[in-house]
Structure 1
């Protein structure tokens, strides 16, 4: 079974009952949805069109709301969970939207990654949000892509940095880059 908005293929479903769970990211206005079913010899039929009207400001958008560009220690959780929020252009929370999070640079681990520590699939909460805890690897720069299951997709990229030492002094502030070797002591 294939599902279309006009001529745009939205999704395919090969298991009964055939269904489409879809968050439209189409322009405001009228759109016609159809389904195309195939038989076992290659013939197909098309459903009667279903008319939907998307209002202005209904397209989803994603924003990073917490935890981006943090510095932490290799092997440790970032101090603040990374978080994104999905809302409509008019500011309403998009609830239950599937989001896929994937480590795209570095070898860190997303906590709760269901057997694959570099990936997490979850849905937005009642506020349109999703947060994730992340354990840093030894890679200096690490990135996590967050992509929504909209057609067309929306995405954000979160970044974290690994400290290789401290800036010195009493602050104890972490330095996100490799520290220079100590200056050799002068000999007499």
Structure 2
């Protein structure tokens, strides 16, 4: 089962890897990119965090809040992905509560997808190396764009372990969902 566009996003009340509170309900009124990764030492996931960090400034100008969830503990996240000093919340979910709420899947075919080789080489070329695996090794990423009303605007469930919603799709969605002067006045 997957979440559909237009559905209200499940509530997410948690803490990031530095124990700061994170709440989707508190972010109403702002668009959110909620990205589910695999484990903290996954080279392809670390490459995606790097891509998001590099795009963060321009995305933040559009009002976008980025939240990134890993199936690892906060300690493991600080050891691996935390070295990137990302300008957005990195959220540990070792019990996979958020993964279940958003129906983020696993699948061996996605782990064995040929496209993973290209993505792994890209990650290795940027210095990201595999390490300890936390949780299911066959976890597949997922990305959700959540609108200002807390509804899912895009639900992207990856078919390969190195696949994510393209950043171009994020910027296009933001442009299409930019508040107009009349919507700001009536709010």
Q: TM-score, normalised by structure 2?
A: 0.22
Structure having the larger proportion of residues in strand:
1
Structure having the larger proportion of residues in helix:
2
Q: TM-score, normalised by structure 1?
A: 0.22
Task: Select the structure of larger CA radius of gyration.
Answer: 1
